[in-house]
Amino acid sequence: MVDVSTSPTALTALATLTARVPRAARTVLAPLTRAVTYTRWLHLLMGAVVAAVCGLVYPGLFDLRPADMLWLPVLPVLPLVAVAMVPATRLAEGLQARLLLTPGEHARHQQGHLAPRIAAAPSASWGDRGRTALWLVLRLEAGCMTALLSLQLPGLTAALVDAASQGTPAPVMGVRIDGHHWWYALLAPLPLAALMALVVAAGRLMTVAATRLLGPSAAERLAALEERTERLLEHNRLARELHDSIGHALTVAVVQAGAARAAGSAEFTDRALAAIEETGRHALEDLERVLRLLREDTARGPADRPGLGDAERLLESARAAGSTLDAKVSGPLEGLPGPVSREGYRILQEALTNVLRHAGPVPVAVRVDVAADTGLLRLDVRNPLPGPGQGRPGETPVGTGLGTGLGSGLRGIRERAALLGGEAEAGPYEGEWRLSVTLPADRSRAHTTTMA
């Protein structure tokens, strides 16, 4: 014989069984501890309100016969279908379903962490109206059944307790409990357990039905996808602007500080500090504007973004950094479309930043030309190629980037030009490094690129 009390196998099996029982109990009882179970129960009960109101008119809610009770879930069907044809009904039902069927997810939807499974918008088509009508009828029938069982099952528990305590139980659900037995008390919790199981299951089924019948339509999903795409494009644009503005300011500051230290002149140091101060102030303004847009404190208007009309401050910043600029601007800059002017400014800023960062304060030739006859804006920036051993130690030559796919600055220029329907080229040209950008300058060709 095997001594069970000392058998390792028996002890292990007993410990496993003991651990599983509390775990199973927690799994069964977990839904009863969640607030969503009771908000869903409330949502189900509210579905029976329409039936109760109609029942007050006919057949009356007092002394109902079983045959009369069959009318309660039938009479409101046609009025509900008529109400579903009103577009605002879908909005009201969607909001209520979000708040009561998915309360936790609803809060995350508002914070933008989840895509909404239940739409909150008026009906936009007859298909939406049809699904709303089906939802209202389903909610009516489920509400009537839940309300009936929520009244009768606790009554059955009370009847079993009365029968176990030698009382006179009243008939419940058409069933009369005869006799008096103590073990009826053991059966008393079963109706309540059945009611809670029904509430949990019905709440989950109604949530699934709500996502199917009140969920976003194909048009709403497409609109949400387009909005998300626009938001991502906006964030990418802001990231490029921060890269260009802050990168330009830091490059100018580094070049000026190095030049002032090497010059050893108080007068030159004062000019360098003034240039650093001016460039830093503009960078802080750009940073504040971008942060304001990200916080959505103001409308997302591009009016306060600099354009090519403000290019002179870029040229002055490069001159202050020690570069000798040969700049020529021709053509009606004020007639440029807003997106082209703003992106052209950023392209010129990035070009000058690259020259200062990789070649230092060298002579730079800048040409900005708006050709009214061809409808094109041409930006041309040239600087001498560094010879062997020239350039800043440890830095990549200015020529790498656009052609090889390396270097975020030149890659950003290419992306900006492509989004505007233009093109950008960079590389050695007649003994110099040349960046050439061509952009459409007429509104008919540039109006579709405002998302850039």
Tokens standing for 77?
């069907």
Tokens standing for 36?
């969503």
Q: Parallel, antiparallel, or unpaired for β 325-330 and 364-371?
A: parallel
- Whole-number pLDDT of residue 227: 67
Tokens standing for 357?
């960062």
Helix (H) or strand (E) holding 403: none
- Whole-number pLDDT of residue 223: 64
How far is residue 389 from each of residues 259, 305, 383, 431, measured CA to CA in Å?
Answer: 19, 39, 17, 17
Series of mean pLDDT values for 10-residue runs along the chain (452 residues): 48 54 69 89 92 77 67 86 93 91 68 65 88 94 92 86 73 65 84 92 93 80 64 68 72 75 76 76 73 58 69 81 83 82 85 81 88 84 71 40 47 82 88 89 52 34
Beta bridge partners of 378: 369, 438
How far is residue 5 from each of residues 1, 9, 14, 18, 19, measured CA to CA in Å?
Answer: 12, 10, 10, 15, 18
**Cβ atoms within 10 A of the Cβ of 52, count?**
14
Tokens standing for 353?
């930043």
Spatial separation of the C-alpha atoms in residues 345 and 379, rounded to whole Å: 10
Spatial separation of the C-alpha atoms in residues 70 and 395, rounded to whole Å: 85
**Rg of the Cα atoms in the chain:** 37
One-letter amino acid of 405: G
Helix (H) or strand (E) holding 426: strand 423-429
Spatial separation of the C-alpha atoms in residues 321 and 312, rounded to whole Å: 14
Give, as one character, the DSSP assignment of residue 33: G
CB 214 within 8 A of CB 119: yes
CB 210 within 8 A of CB 120: no
Spatial separation of the C-alpha atoms in residues 95 and 118, rounded to whole Å: 8
Contacts 24+ apart (CB under 8 A), 96-104: 96/43, 96/46, 97/43, 97/210, 97/214, 99/39, 100/39, 100/40, 100/42, 100/43, 101/36, 101/39, 101/40, 101/43, 101/203, 101/206, 101/207, 101/210, 102/36, 102/207, 103/35, 103/36, 103/39, 104/36
What does pTM read for this prediction?
Answer: 0.50
Beta bridge partners of 327: 366
Q: Parallel, antiparallel, or unpaired for β 423-429 and 432-440?
A: antiparallel
CB 133 within 8 A of CB 81: yes
- Taking the CA atoms of 143, 145, 151 and 153 in sequence, report the sign of the dihedral they define: negative
**Cβ atoms within 10 A of the Cβ of 177, count?**
19
